[in-house]
A and B are shown apart, each in its own frame.
Chain A
Amino acid sequence: MSEIVIPKRYIILSLVLIALVAAAIWFAPQLYGGFRVQAGEAVTPTSPSGDRSQAEDAAARDAALAGARAFYAMDYSAGQQQWLDRLCSVSTQTGCIVYQNVIVPHFWSQIEEAKTITTVGVAAQEKVQEQVASTRNNAPMQVWRLNIRLSSPWPMQKEPITEFPALALVIKENGFWKFERFLTEEELHAFSTDGGQP
């Protein structure tokens, strides 16, 4: 009967190797994340509620942008109804009724008379307020600060300015964010002092 002799240093090397593999398996995720941070990539903790909130904000912001674009992009030759249709397609039902009955009819004659054609660029700056609309079954609503740039002034402006700030109120209606109306700074101030109420 022959005797197999394993040198002591081989046994030590094997144990060290096993320990290294186990350590690599255990620490690999952390190391990978660390490399990403060092490489400058944004690492966002995975949180379903956080994702939802960001998605809601993005949708609300898009509604504010769409409302401002629909209001200020103007081609008199397309007619009053086309302006109204564009507005109503991105507005709340309530907003649409008011645009239809008050705001669009009020401005249209001057727009038509001056043969107004403007393109508009709208940029969202920040979300400045978030509340619920108690008169709309507690639907979420947000106020966004926008910057609006017109290709040319409108005839009925007090001053012929082409770049100005705006505050847009958007409300979630039937699962979709819609544009309601523009607010003044005074209204935003009153809004902000409501303390998030109601």
Chain B
Amino acid sequence: MKTIRFLLLISFLVALVSPTRAVRADEGDSPWGDFLNPDGSIAWDQLTDLGTVSEPADWMDITLPGGLVVDMDATYHRYQTPTGNIVVLPSPATLFFMAMNPVESGLTNAESMLGNGASILAMLVGPSLTSDQLAQLVSQGYTDPAEFFQAVIDGREDIWSIINRNFFFEIMIMSFDSGFLVNALLLYLNGVADCESIPGGCAGLLADCEDGNCLPETPICPAPTITQAPATLTIQKIAPENPLVVGQDPDRRGADIQAQASIPPVIFTWYEQIQDPPTYETTSSGNGGGCPAPGSRYDNNWDPSMENNPGYEVVDGEIHCIEHMEVLPEAITEVQANAQLSPESHYWILNDLASKYYEAYIHQPRFNLVPGMAQMSGGCRGDGVCTAETQVLNVPFADPGTFNLRMWVYTAGTFFNWNGVSIPITQPRVLFTEDAMQVYVTLVTLLPAGAP
């Protein structure tokens, strides 16, 4: 049971690889340095686990017809640093409501966070966005969904303008199903001294930590680690070499586009702490505390006469750390890809080209390649590498210019099944890549005869 708790604890925090990099960039004398190692990993021995705490939060209330209100509690898992700062990990539902109510929830009081409000929304909502919704964001001028999420945090956009209302319940269910699956650590400076204003309040905090004397005991076994090689994503035109607009091509050939994604597995290394049963030993001094029943707990033969017998004492069993290395495939759940005429080409057609060819216009500036015109195929191999691939053939580009090719790959994150318990190790994520391709047009130029 202790091991399960330990695994659950580490699972809350180990999925921080990419956000950690963001913090390290401006680390310097940052308080994050209290518990971030130079390589970006978490120094677990510097954090005191304060456990999970819930508190009423009216910014999370659910209103029902007839004047009924469900008072939802905000739930946080909290950790204390040696210098008295508090690191807060909200539950997914809490995190969602915090992002929606940044002032009321105290989100804006945080010194900084691994990730920010926009990335929180991207983590929670991003994987549910469809290609149509992404297209809608583009039509609103957001080339990157993160810009839209930042606009939501800033109060310039409404999150519900792109996601369904039903998603509200799904966010809540994340809290039940996955524990603290979505990772966003918030750091509150002087949290111990100013505990009234931090999420979760003062309960359970350790006092007098300014001189660093509240360091927890150093764990016996090494902290768990996760590593993962970078994913490889490509989307590119593969044929023909110089695609011609279909309107000028008698064969209406179009262009072929290839999209590929390959995600290496997460290597999760953890250490199981095993303690041998205690043994009894005789004491020469006669000051032993005796060896209490039951005898089955001892590794050697126990006798009732040893109870309350100062000639004997209990010696704790030796502790071993068993290393386990797990290869966890990160499955691809969805791929979206599109080709979109660049704004520059858009302008060129409607201005430069239209000035020479009367009524030149945009035929089709956007193609939803995946899943609109093709489906990805792939899966996870025996070595844990998960792949997805497709070729979209004969895409009928009818407009000349530069088309931006973009691909989003959604993953399920990774899970470690330990004795029937599924423990999230890394969070679901969205990977993105883009490239560009040219579509050509033949233009006729009249030259005076005999011109050099």
Residue A114 is within 8 A (CB to CB) of chain B in the complex: no
116-154 of chain B: CB within 8 A of chain A: 128-130, 132-133, 136
Interface centre among A135, A136, A183 (most CB of B within 10 A): A135
Residue interface mask B162-202, A partner, CB < 8 A = 1? 11111111101100100000000000000000000000000
Residue B219 is within 8 A (CB to CB) of chain A in the complex: no
Which residues on the B side are within 8 Å of A169 (C-beta)? Answer: 165-166
> What's the Cα separation between A135 and B128 when bound, in Å?
6
A190 touches B158 (CB 8 A): yes
Residue A18 is within 8 A (CB to CB) of chain B in the complex: no
B65 touches A159 (CB 8 A): no
Contact A106/B170 with A194-B160, A197-B136, A197-B161 known, Cβ cut-off 8 Å = no
Of B68-76, B349-357, B383-391, B422-430, the one touching chain A = B68-76
Residue interface mask A180-198, B partner, CB < 8 A = 1? 1111100100110110011
> What's the Cα separation between A14 and B165 when bound, in Å?
74
Contact A103/B62 with A159-B67, A194-B160, A198-B130 known, Cβ cut-off 8 Å = yes
89-131 of chain A: CB within 8 A of chain B: 94-95, 97-98, 101-103, 106-107, 131
A148 touches B65 (CB 8 A): yes
Q: How far is the CB of B138 from chain A (nearest CB, A)?
A: 14
Contact A102/B70 with A135-B166, A197-B161 known, Cβ cut-off 8 Å = yes
Which residues on the A side are within 8 Å of B161 (C-beta)? Answer: 190, 193-194, 197
Residue B66 is within 8 A (CB to CB) of chain A in the complex: yes
> What's the Cα separation between A198 and B130 when bound, in Å?
9
Q: How far is the CB of B157 from chain A (nearest CB, A)?
A: 12
Residue A171 is within 8 A (CB to CB) of chain B in the complex: yes
> What's the Cα separation between A98 and B65 when bound, in Å?
17
Q: How far is the CB of B438 from chain A (nearest CB, A)?
A: 32
Residue B18 is within 8 A (CB to CB) of chain A in the complex: no
A94 touches B166 (CB 8 A): yes
Residue B64 is within 8 A (CB to CB) of chain A in the complex: yes
> What's the Cα separation between A182 and B66 when bound, in Å?
11
Q: How far is the CB of A62 from chain B (nearest CB, A)?
A: 18
Residue A2 is within 8 A (CB to CB) of chain B in the complex: no
Which residues on the A side are within 8 Å of B132 (C-beta)? Answer: 134, 198
Partner of B65, one of A94, A101, A182: A182
39-97 of chain B: CB within 8 A of chain A: 62-72
Which residues on the B side are within 8 Å of A184 (C-beta)? Answer: 63
- For B167, the closest partner residue in chain A by CB is A135
- For B69, the closest partner residue in chain A by CB is A158
B166 touches A133 (CB 8 A): yes
A148 touches B166 (CB 8 A): no
A197 touches B162 (CB 8 A): yes
A134 touches B66 (CB 8 A): no
- For B173, the closest partner residue in chain A by CB is A97
Which residues on the A side are within 8 Å of B168 (C-beta)? Answer: 181
Q: How far is the CB of B79 from chain A (nearest CB, A)?
A: 26
Contact A103/B70 with A180-B166, A181-B169 known, Cβ cut-off 8 Å = yes
Partner of A98, one of B163, B167, B172: B172
Interface residues in A, total, Cβ within 8 A = 43
B70 touches A164 (CB 8 A): no
Residue A87 is within 8 A (CB to CB) of chain B in the complex: no
> What's the Cα separation between A181 and B158 when bound, in Å?
21
Contact A141/B164 with A158-B67, A161-B67 known, Cβ cut-off 8 Å = yes
> What's the Cα separation between A92 and B66 when bound, in Å?
22
Which residues on the A side are within 8 Å of B158 (C-beta)? Answer: 190, 193
Residue A157 is within 8 A (CB to CB) of chain B in the complex: yes
> What's the Cα separation between A48 and B260 when bound, in Å?
44
Residue A83 is within 8 A (CB to CB) of chain B in the complex: no
Q: How far is the CB of B427 from chain A (nearest CB, A)?
A: 18
Which residues on the A side are within 8 Å of B68 (C-beta)? Answer: 107, 154, 156-158
A182 touches B64 (CB 8 A): yes
> What's the Cα separation between A72 and B66 when bound, in Å?
10
Q: How far is the CB of B70 from chain A (nearest CB, A)?
A: 5
Residue A70 is within 8 A (CB to CB) of chain B in the complex: no
Pairs of residues from A and B, 7 with the lowest C-beta to C-beta distance, nearest first = A166-B65, A158-B67, A190-B160, A157-B67, A135-B128, A164-B66, A94-B169
27 A-B pairs with C-beta separation under 8 A: A98-B172, A102-B62, A102-B72, A103-B64, A106-B71, A107-B68, A133-B164, A134-B163, A135-B167, A138-B130, A148-B66, A157-B66, A158-B67, A164-B65, A180-B166, A180-B169, A181-B168, A183-B165, A190-B165, A193-B161, A194-B160, A197-B133, A197-B136, A197-B162, A198-B133, A198-B163, A198-B164
Could you list 14 further interchain pairs (A-B, Cβ under 8 angstroms) beyond the known A72-B66, A94-B170, A166-B66?
Answer: A97-B173, A106-B70, A134-B129, A135-B163, A135-B170, A158-B67, A158-B68, A161-B66, A169-B166, A171-B166, A181-B168, A182-B65, A190-B165, A198-B164
